[in-house]
Chains A and B, each alone.
Chain A
Amino acid sequence: MKYIAQFGIIIAISLIGELLNRAIPLPIPASIYGMAILFTALCTKTIKLSQVKETGKFLILIMPLMFIAPATGLIESWSTMQEFIVALLVISAISTVLVAAAAGHITQLIIKHKGKEDKK
C-alpha cells in the first residue's frame, strides 16, 4: 500500500502539472510545474518525505532508461540533423565549456567573498 500511495501522489502531481501546462499559455513543461508543486509541498510539510521517498528515488534511478527511446528517434530525424551536424557539435562543445566556467567561477567567487566578509 505504501508504494501505491507514493506512486499515486506522484502521478496526481503530474496530472496537476499537465492541467497547468494546458491552462497557462507558457512553454513550461508539465514536469516543471509538478516539481515546483512537490518541492513546495515538501517544504510546507503538506506532503511528508516518507510519503514519496522510495517510489520517487526509484523513478530517478531508472531515469536513464527513459532517454533511450527519444534518443533512438534520431533515426527518423537523421536527415534533418545532417543539415547542421557540424554546427550542432561545435555549439554543444563550446557552450558546455563556457557554461561550466561561468557557473563555477561565479559560485566560487561569491562563496570566497562571503567567507572573507564572515571573517571580518
Chain B
Amino acid sequence: MKEALQDSMFFGAALSIGTYILGVLIKRRWNFFLFNPLLLSITATISVLLILGIEYSEYNNSAKYITYLLTPATVALAIPLYEQISLLRKNLTAIIAGIASGVLTSSLSIFLMSLAFSLNHTQYVTLLPKSITTAIGISLSAELNGYIAITVSSIIITGLIGNIAGGLLCRLLRIKHPIAKGIAIGTSTHVMGTSKAMEIGEIEGAMSSLSIAVAGCMTVGAAILFEWWI
C-alpha cells in the first residue's frame, strides 16, 4: 500500500487537491476563523505523510506538477491588474505611495527585528518576502538563497492574520477609505488577505488584488537593496 502510493504519479497531487476540497467543505460547514482551507489542507497533508511514513520527496514527485503552474499563474495576475487600470490611473499617486511605504515598512521592520533577535543572514532573507504573494515569495526566497519552505510558512502565517482579522485591523488602525483599506490589506497580507477584502467590498477587493502584484514587484526591488544589511 505504502509502496504503491509512493510510486504513484498522482498520489501527491490527489492528496493536495483532496485535502483542499475537504478544507473548503469544513470552512462552509463551520465558519470558525481558524478553518482556513489552505491551513487545513497543509495540516492534513503533513499529517497523512507523517502517519503513512511517506517521505516529502516521494509526495512532491507528483505534487510538484501543481506547483509547476505557479509561474504561469503569477504571470496571469497581470489580467486583474489590467482590468482595474482606470481606477489605478485615477488614484495612481496615492496607490503607489501607499504600497511603496508599506513595502519599505515591511523590509525595515523585518530588518530591525531580525537585528533584535540576532538572526543570521539566511534566516533574515527567508523572512524578507513574508508579506508578498507566495508565488513571488517562493521565487524571491530561492533567488536570495533563503529557506524556501520557511518563507512559505511565514507568508501563510502573515496571510492568515489578514484572512482572519483584515477588517478588524483596518478598523483598529482607523483606515476608512475603501481604496486605502484594500491597499492596506493587500500590501500586508497578499492573496489570503485579498479574499477577505473581496468580502468587505468590491473596491477593497480590486485594490487589494492590485496591491498583490505591485507590492510583489516592489518587494523584489526592496529585497535587492536590503539583502546585504545582515
| Residues in chain A within 8 A of chain B (CB atoms) | 7, 10-11, 13-14, 17-18, 26-32, 34-39, 42-43, 49, 52-53, 55-57, 59-60, 62-77, 80-81, 83-84, 86-108, 110-112, 114
| Residues in chain B within 8 A of chain A (CB atoms) | 12, 16-17, 19-20, 37-38, 41-42, 45-46, 49-50, 56, 59-60, 63-64, 66-67, 69-83, 85, 91, 93-95, 97-99, 101-106, 109-110, 113-114, 117, 119, 123, 127, 130-131, 134-136, 138-140, 142-144, 147-150, 152-154, 156-158, 161-162, 169-170, 173, 175-177, 179-181, 183-185, 187-189, 191, 211, 213, 215-217, 220, 223-224, 227
- The secondary structure that dominates the B interface is helix
User: Are B152 and A74 within 8 A (Cβ)?
Assistant: yes
Q: Which of A67, A88, A91, A100 contacts B187 (CB 8 A)?
A: A100
- The secondary structure that dominates the A interface is helix
Contacts of B184 in A (CB 8 A): 99-101, 103-104, 107
Q: Which of B79, B158, B177, B179 contacts A38 (CB 8 A)?
A: B79
Question: Chain A's nearest CB lies how many Å from the CB of B132?
Answer: 10
Q: Which of B64, B136, B147, B181 contacts A29 (CB 8 A)?
A: B136
Residue on B with the closest CB to A40? Answer: B78
User: Are B179 and A111 within 8 A (Cβ)?
Assistant: yes
Residue on A with the closest CB to B20? Answer: A65
Contacts of A77 in B (CB 8 A): 147, 149-150
